[in-house]
Structure 1
Amino acid sequence: MPRRVDHDERRRHLTAALLRIASTRGLQAVSMREVAAEAGVSLRVVQYYFTDKRTLMLSGITELAARLDRRVRERAAAIGTGLPPRTVFDVVLGAILPTDDDSRADQLAWTAYYAAGLTDPAEAVDGRYAPDALERWLTGVLATAVETGDVPAGVDPRIEVVSLLALTNGLVSSVLGRQRDVDDALRVVRYRLDRLFGAATRG
């Protein structure tokens, strides 16, 4: 009896191969044939699941966003339910930083997508929906914190979230570039959060 193929698992396997190439050699090295070789399958298999390179590339962006979401959920679950706003920001921003081999590889892949879009518009894949959705969600969390008095009333939630995410993404680059280690990056993020959430107490 022929073995049944798990098509979702096969797509994940191919997408993981794409992201390994992106994180080690950049998107310029990505092709349907290279992904097939990395995944250990025939080119025809890749073409069966992904109609063209752009569809394949989009699967990579989607998977990177899903991995970050899983990382955040796992870290939050390890702490418990009903997390206070400060802890939510600790968890989310900490999950963005490359704190281990897996998250480092994911951030290298994110960087490869970003760089490709800057230097070759034809290679660009619109992955803005993931960061935009995260920004909107965190803005809602911070707006609630303003209402409950966890942060000062004069704080603009959207601007604070934009600046926190910009800070964290800048720290990602400095960690990847070995300008600083991840512990130093975490200290910078927590210092900024201390000033934001501690301001209500000081006030």
Structure 2
Amino acid sequence: MPRLADHEERRRSITSAARRVIARGGLEAATFQSVAAEAGVSVRSVQYYFGTKREFLLATHRAVVEASGARMTQAFATLGPDAGPRDIVRIIALSLLPLDEPSRQDAIILGIFHAAALAGPDIDSTDTVGAPNYIVDAIAGQLRQLRGTDTDDKALITDAEVILLAVGGLAQGMLTNDDYASRATQLVDHLLDRVLDA
């Protein structure tokens, strides 16, 4: 088992290095050489673990998504037994925002990946839709609990998409607008008041 753990740790170390390189200089800065230097490993190690640049970029994207999921899981653990659907949707929304330095770096990286999916050859939009689709489904499930099982599925999905897209826009806005950053929680609560109570 130690060998497996060592391999996983090495992969995590390389994707962490790739995250730092991408946050500083974009996807074009993330070469085998730059990531290897940042991670303190050989170029051959990066190639061994990931094969191609595309593979290590996708692994890096997954690492960012997993970090967001871990933040969400930690926040869910703080909910009491009386937590309802609104509480859960609020946790999901807040977990997607750059409220501290690690999540800020992740928001920068996700913005870079989004831009690359629009224009770059290394990443396609189909490579990055898994997590947003999962979040939409999770929010729609909570809305169904809140509104009842006879609610139209299309309406639930649409409202869940509105929440996700608004929170995604807020996350990117917070990176350059301190006013949005200072009012992020208030803005999320306002959004949920409008959508959940509609």
Q: What is the TM-score of this pair, normalised by structure 2?
A: 0.89
**Cα separation, 1, equivalents of 2:170 and 2:109:** 16
Q: 1:129 — aligned with what?
A: 130
- The DSSP-based 3-state class of the residue aligned with 2:51 is coil
**Cα separation, 2, equivalents of 1:191 and 1:154:** 24
Q: 1:27 — aligned with what?
A: 27
Provide structure 1 residue ranges, at least 5 long, that are not aligned to the other structure.
none
Q: 2:179 — aligned with what?
A: 180
**Cα separation, 1, equivalents of 2:194 and 2:138:** 21
Q: What is the TM-score of this pair, normalised by structure 1?
A: 0.87
1:164 partnered with 2:151: no
Q: Counterpart of 1:58 in structure 2: which amino acid?
A: L
**Cα separation, 1, equivalents of 2:33 and 2:82:** 47
Q: 2:102 — aligned with what?
A: 102
Instruction: Give the greater-gyration-radius structure (CA).
Output: 1
Q: CA 1:192–1:106 in 2, change beyond 3 Å: closer, same or farther?
A: same
Identity of aligned residues (%): 31
Deviations 1:98-147 (A, max 9, x none): 00000000000101111112122x12141111111111121111112111
1:130-149 → structure 2 map (5 Å cutoff): 130-147=131-148
Q: Counterpart of 2:123 in structure 1: which amino acid?
A: A
Contact 1:72 1:95 in 2 (8 A): yes
**Cα separation, 1, equivalents of 2:128 and 2:60:** 10
Provide structure 2 residue ranges, at least 5 long, that are not aligned to the other structure.
none
CA shift, 1:81, in A, is 4.4
